Amino acid sequence: MTPLDQRIDDVRSSALREISEAGDRSALDGVRVKYLARKGHIAALFEELSSVPPDQKPAAGKALNLLRREIQAAFDARLGQAAHPEGRRIDRTDLTLPGKQKWVGSRHPLTQTLDEIRGIFRRMGFAVATGPEIEDDYHNFEALNFPPDHPARDMQDTFFISKNVLLRTHTSPVQIRVMENTPPPVRVIIPGRVYRNEAISARSYCLFHQVEGLYVDQGVTFRELKGTLVSFAKQFYGSSLKYRFRPSYFPFTEPSAEMDITCFLCGGEGCRVCKKTGWLEILGCGMVDPNVYSFVGYDPKKVSGYAFGMGIERIAMLRFGLDDIRILFENDVRFLRQFA
Ligand code: PHE
């Protein structure tokens, strides 16, 4: 063993002992300066390399490098412990941290509204029917008694795909499809998406949802139409509401009407929502025009019936106090989470 080897061994054992015995951070730092700093013991040993005979130099240099790495490693290990004196405690769950919120999915307000409407009509004996959103001119207009040049066609701004193919502007074409495929009696509601080529604003969007109703049987009267709709409105909006039917016009119903209810926000006093009138228009309806029966092969002398249609967005907006229809289509979770 050369004298340098002996010195290396001495420095190693004293350094390791002092590192393990250092009681706190500053004692440890003192040990680091003593051994590892630029003027420390290890650097001093490196100085001595110059006086080592050339044939021993490589081995001595290697031994010194090893020493430095070993001491540095021991020091680092001890420093890690000093920072976390309780060792493995650091891996444990910190129960004082705030919890992670797990969000529960929710049904869209339109779906909630629709489900409720569907439930009420199901209990009154209505089945659910659906039809295509891409329609032909025949079902959307012609069979609903809109003559080719009838101005009523302009009432609805239509997205045409080709001359005879379009995005349905209402759910009424499904009335035709149901009657084409089913002999009377029929009693259905038809929920679905409809499209209109309107300027987009807080009040109107290029698509929205309707629920259509159709009941055709022998001897169905306007009185039944009223009774059914009033019963629906009282279940949906509250039993104390007042209502009125105003004459209206649709090509496929005769007579036609619109149903208003007293504003459920102000109870009829007049407010911002009902535009100070005290009334809210909630749906269009009427007795199926006999001309419509001839398009679907029903005998107008044998059957009669009624139809109605209402917009879902409007109802949902009134219910939930929304002032911009577009929020229903943005799928912003900050909005949707409020309906969980
Ligand atoms: N389809 C009509 C509309 O979109 C509503 C309606 C349906 C009216 C059924 C009467 C009967 O405005």
237 lines ligand 1 (CB under 6 A): no
Looking at every residue in the chain, the average pLDDT score rounds to 89
Residue nearest to atom 5 of ligand 1 (CA): 309
Q: How confident is the model at residue 85 (pLDDT cuts 50, 70, 90)?
A: low
DSSP secondary structure letter of residue 281: E
pLDDT at 86: 54
Q: Is 140 in the pocket of ligand 1 (CB under 6 A)?
A: no
pTM above 0.75, yes or no: no
Mean pLDDT in residue range 94-106: 84
Q: What is the pLDDT of residues 21-50, one digit of tens each?
A: 888 888 888 888 898 888 888 888 888 888
For ligand 1, the distance from its centroid to the CA atom of residue 123, given in whole angstroms, is: 22
Instruction: Write the residue with the smallest CA distance to atom 7 of ligand 1.
Output: 309
13-17, 165-169, 331-335 — which is least confidently predicted? 13-17
CA 77 to ligand 1 centroid distance, Å: 79
Pocket mutation for ligand 1, best pick of 167, 176, 210, 245 (most atoms within 8 Å of C-beta) = 210
Model confidence over 232-277: pLDDT tens digits?
A: 999 998 888 899 999 999 999 999 999 999 887 788 888 877 889 9
Q: Long-range contact list for 195-199, CB < 8 A, 24+ apart?
A: 195/133, 195/159, 195/167, 195/168, 195/169, 196/156, 196/157, 196/158, 196/159, 196/169, 197/157, 197/158, 197/159, 198/157
Q: What mean pLDDT is predicted for residues 4-14?
A: 86
Q: Which residues pair with 281 in a beta bridge?
A: 260
Cα–Cα distances in Å, from 260 out to 110, 226, 263, 315?
21, 12, 9, 12
